[in-house]
């Protein structure tokens, strides 16, 4: 089974690229972020024509996540749960979970879009850290189910210095602040595996290149799109690929798809 994540950076602007990618790459489940569309205006038909079931959690103009799957999910949950001690409820569309039947039980797949957190001297950085804390709490509650779980998406976190072309450029940025990286490590310490790093330890593997300054041409990138796997999912991991060729297409997203191959069969 192929499970992929891609920050599409506006589904309407990149629907042609999305259709081409789905046709070429053939993921069984595709997790999209930054769809920037309300649910009722999401361009479903060309994706359904390819055989994909579409589930969205959108909002107008920004954010928004989606799950595209070749099989219909048994259950869909929208929004990261809000806990009473978290303060005001979070109304941003950043989280969607699908539960799928596979041989041997259930597979849980989440498409998530973590807050950017910049500028760090505004309320946006505490919001980022609070969101990561809620994600950690949610994950801690899910892991006792002992089901394969894939948390796929744009984390807006550069985990290690070799995950960016020049660490000095990112000093002080919310994506590379120690608080953000520590929150990411806490997810790993729950028992989640970073899919790509479980299969590849090479530097210079990136998933995002800015539109400015010739970043793509110079390979001045960062790795912020991750597939985090529970032990039950990591045990089935075969390989992870970064489909960076998509960044060279006309009207590209500034992110590229990342895909994990897992040894699961649908029922």
Q: Would you say 7 is a known binding-site residue? A: yes
For 64-121, the pLDDT digits (tens) are: 999 999 999 999 999 998 776 666 678 899 999 999 999 989 999 999 999 999 999 9
Q: pLDDT tens, 61-80?
A: 899 999 999 999 999 999 99
Q: What is the pLDDT of residue 83?
A: 74
As a dihedral over the C-alpha atoms of residue 59, residue 65, residue 71, residue 76, rounded to 10 degrees, the angle is -70
Annotation-wise, does 189 bind a ligand?
A: no
Q: Annotation-wise, does 220 bind a ligand? A: no
- 154 annotated as ligand-binding: yes
- Model confidence pLDDT, tens digit, residues 210-253: 999 999 999 999 999 999 999 999 999 999 999 999 999 999 99
Cis ω before 119 (30° cut-off from 0): yes
Give pLDDT, residue 61. Answer: 87
Q: Residue holding tokens 């690929």?
A: 241
For residue 194, say whether it is annotated as part of any ligand binding site: no
CB 149 within 8 A of CB 233: yes
165 is in an annotated binding site: no
Q: What is the pLDDT of residues 15-57, one digit of tens each?
A: 999 999 999 999 999 999 999 999 999 999 999 999 999 999 9
The pLDDT, as a whole number, for residue 2 is 98
pTM: 0.96
Contact predicate 94/47, CB 8 Å: no
Residue 159: pLDDT above 70?
Answer: yes
Topology (CATH) of 2-262: Deoxyribonuclease I; Chain A (3.60.10)
pLDDT in tens, 188-217: 999 999 999 999 999 899 999 999 999 999
CB–CB of 99/74 below 8 Å?
yes
pLDDT of residue 84: 66
Q: How open is the CA angle 125-126-130, to the nearest 5 degrees?
A: 120
Q: Which residues are catalytic?
A: 113, 154, 255
The residue among 78, 67, 74, 76 whose CA lies nearest residue 29 is: 67
With H, G, I as helix, E, B as strand and everything else as coil, classify residue 199. helix
Cα–Cα distance for residue pair 223/156, rounded to 1 Å? 9
Whether the CA torsion 148, 18, 32, 48 is positive or negative: it is negative
Burial level of 222, CB count in 10 A (0-12/13-18/19+)? buried
């Amino acid at each position: 089974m192929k499970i992929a994540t891609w920050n599409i950076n506006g589904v309407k602007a990149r629907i042609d690229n999305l259709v081409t990618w789905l046709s070429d790459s053939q993921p069984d489940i595709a997790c999209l972020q930054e769809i920037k569309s309300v649910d009722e205006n999401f361009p479903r038909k060309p994706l359904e024509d390819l055989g994909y079931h579409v589930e969205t959690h959108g909002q107008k103009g920004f954010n928004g996540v989606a799950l595209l799957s070749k099989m219909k999910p048994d259950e869909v949950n929208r929004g990261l749960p809000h806990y009473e001690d978290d303060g005001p409820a979070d109304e941003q569309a950043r989280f969607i979970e699908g539960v799928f039947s596979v041989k041997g039980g259930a597979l849980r797949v989440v498409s998530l879009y973590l807050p950017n957190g910049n500028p760090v001297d505004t309320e946006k950085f505490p919001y980022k850290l609070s969101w990561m804390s809620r994600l950690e709490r949610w994950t801690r509650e899910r892991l006792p189910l002992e089901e394969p779980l894939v948390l796929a998406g744009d984390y807006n976190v550069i985990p290690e210095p070799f995950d960016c072309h020049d660490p000095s450029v990112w000093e002080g940025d919310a994506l590379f602040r120690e608080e953000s990286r520590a929150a990411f490590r806490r997810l790993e310490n729950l028992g989640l595996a970073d899919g790509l790093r479980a299969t590849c330890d090479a530097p210079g593997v990136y998933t995002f290149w800015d539109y400015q300054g010739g970043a793509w041409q110079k390979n001045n990138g960062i790795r912020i799109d991750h597939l985090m796997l529970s032990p039950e999912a990591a045990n089935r991991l075969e390989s992870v690929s970064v489909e960076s060729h998509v960044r060279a297409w006309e009207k590209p997203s500034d992110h590229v798809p990342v895909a994990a191959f897992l040894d699961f069969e649908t029922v």
